[in-house]
């Protein structure tokens, strides 16, 4: 069942989303060669708790950490570890927080130092696909319009989109209806209505769309061909005025620009 949110509830989800944007920005400041992903997780979790919020991934179906940190060929759900980041890696930092009872979900893919031009391009196109998908988040459209727009932009640029995982409703809980796939057919799927809040999150592969899930941890989702992937995510509300993005990359990208 799709749960609609009131204007007041959307304002509270925005509060969570803005805090989440600052939190990912704080973690992002520490992304550099020689740092471990466990350390990034620790900084982020501290930030979340210091600001009175709760990291919802931690403990979710046994997931061990506050953040999903996914490096290079890991698409999503990477578990922070003692792995050191190195120059040229790309790393997606994905987090869900609850703040004052409301939930926001966002992810950003960072470059570790200088990445190869083809990785830079993958990141750019994935970020573009997110905003192209968000543009479709309008009253009267359907979920398939978002899915189709994301898929077309990625495939037009020579990339593929993951089929096994998708975006979702969010706001009261971490995962709500509907599912928001990154592939699909225009004009199909649930109708977008005022008050719906969605997490739109293109998961884009440089090579083939096939992924494998780690047999050891049950979570880590990697490309089968071990080529890089990227992942960006925003939480967005459907309003009569159009898409209202409740999370933000502003703090993240201000830091990147200044560094
Ligand atoms: Mg997420
Ligand atoms: Mg999500």
147/99 Cα distance (integer angstroms): 28
CA of 107 to the centre of ligand 2 (A): 8
Contact call for residues 91 and 76 (beta carbons, < 8 A): no
Q: Which ligand is nearest to the CA of 165?
A: 2
* Cβ contacts of 6-13, under 8 Å, gap ≥ 24: 6/195, 9/102, 9/171, 10/171, 10/195, 10/197, 10/237, 10/239, 10/244, 10/246, 12/99, 12/100, 12/101, 12/102, 13/102, 13/103, 13/104, 13/170, 13/171, 13/197, 13/235, 13/237, 13/246
pLDDT at 259 over 90: no
Closest ligand by atom to 107 CA = 1
What pLDDT, in 10s, does the model give residues 113-166? 999 999 999 999 999 999 999 999 999 999 999 999 999 999 999 999 999 999
> Helix 143-156 to helix 117-135 angle, to the nearest 10 degrees?
160
Q: What is the pLDDT of residues 94-127, one digit of tens each?
A: 999 999 999 999 999 999 999 999 999 999 999 9
Residues 230 and 92: beta-carbon distance below 8 Å: yes
Ligand 1 mean position, distance from CA 140 (Å): 25
Task: Measure 157 CA to ligand 1 centroid, in angstroms.
Answer: 24
Residue 226 has pLDDT above 90, yes or no: yes
Query: If you measure from the C-alpha of residue 238 to the centroid of ligand 2, how many angstroms do you get, rounded to a whole number?
Result: 17
163 CA to centre of ligand 2 in angstroms: 14
Task: Work out the average pLDDT over 223-248.
Answer: 98
Q: Output the CA 95–ligand 1 centroid distance in Å.
A: 5
Residue 86 CA to ligand 1 centre (angstroms) = 23
Say which ligand is closest to the CA of 170.
2
Tell me how far the alpha carbon of residue 241 lies from the centroid of ligand 2, in angstroms: 24
pLDDT tens figures, 171-217? 999 999 999 999 999 999 999 999 999 999 999 999 999 999 999 99
pLDDT above 90 (res 256): yes
Q: Which residues contact 189 (CB under 8 A, 6 or more apart)?
A: 142, 143, 144, 147, 178
Domains and CATH numbers, the chain: 7-258 (3.90.230.10)
Mean pLDDT of the chain: 98
In three-state secondary structure terms, 13 is helix
Cα 4 to ligand 1 centre (Å):
20
Q: Tokens in use for 89?
A: 């890696």
Q: How far is CA 113 from CA 88, 89, 255, in A?
A: 6, 8, 14
> 52-88: per-residue pLDDT in tens?
999 999 999 999 999 999 999 999 999 999 999 999 9
């Amino acid at each position: 069942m799709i749960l609609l949110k009131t204007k007041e509830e959307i304002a509270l989800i925005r509060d969570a989303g803005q805090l989440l944007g600052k939190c990912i920005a704080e973690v992002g400041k520490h992304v550099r060669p020689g740092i471990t992903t466990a350390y990034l997780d620790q900084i982020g979790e501290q930030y979340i708790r210091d600001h009175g919020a709760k990291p919802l991934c931690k403990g979710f179906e046994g997931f061990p950490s506050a953040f999903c940190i996914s490096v290079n060929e890991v698409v999503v759900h990477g578990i922070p570890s003692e792995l050191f980041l190195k120059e040229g890696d790309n790393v997606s930092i994905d987090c869900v927080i609850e703040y004052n009872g409301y939930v926001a979900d966002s992810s950003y893919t960072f470059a570790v130092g200088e990445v190869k031009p083809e990785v830079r391009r993958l990141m750019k196109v994935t970020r573009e696909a997110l905003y192209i998908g968000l543009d479709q988040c309008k009253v009267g459209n359907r979920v398939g319009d978002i899915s189709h727009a994301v898929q077309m932009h990625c495939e037009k640029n020579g990339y593929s989109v993951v089929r096994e995982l998708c975006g979702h409703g969010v706001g009261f809980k971490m995962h709500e209806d509907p599912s928001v796939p990154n592939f699909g057919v225009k004009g199909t799927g649930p109708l977008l209505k005022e008050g719906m809040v969605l997490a739109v999150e293109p998961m884009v592969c440089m090579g083939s769309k096939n992924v494998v899930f780690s047999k050891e941890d049950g979570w880590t989702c990697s490309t089968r061909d071990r080529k890089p992937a990227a992942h960006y995510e925003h939480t967005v509300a459907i309003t009569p005025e159009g898409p209202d993005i409740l999370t933000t990359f502003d703090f993240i990208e201000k830091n990147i620009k200044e560094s």
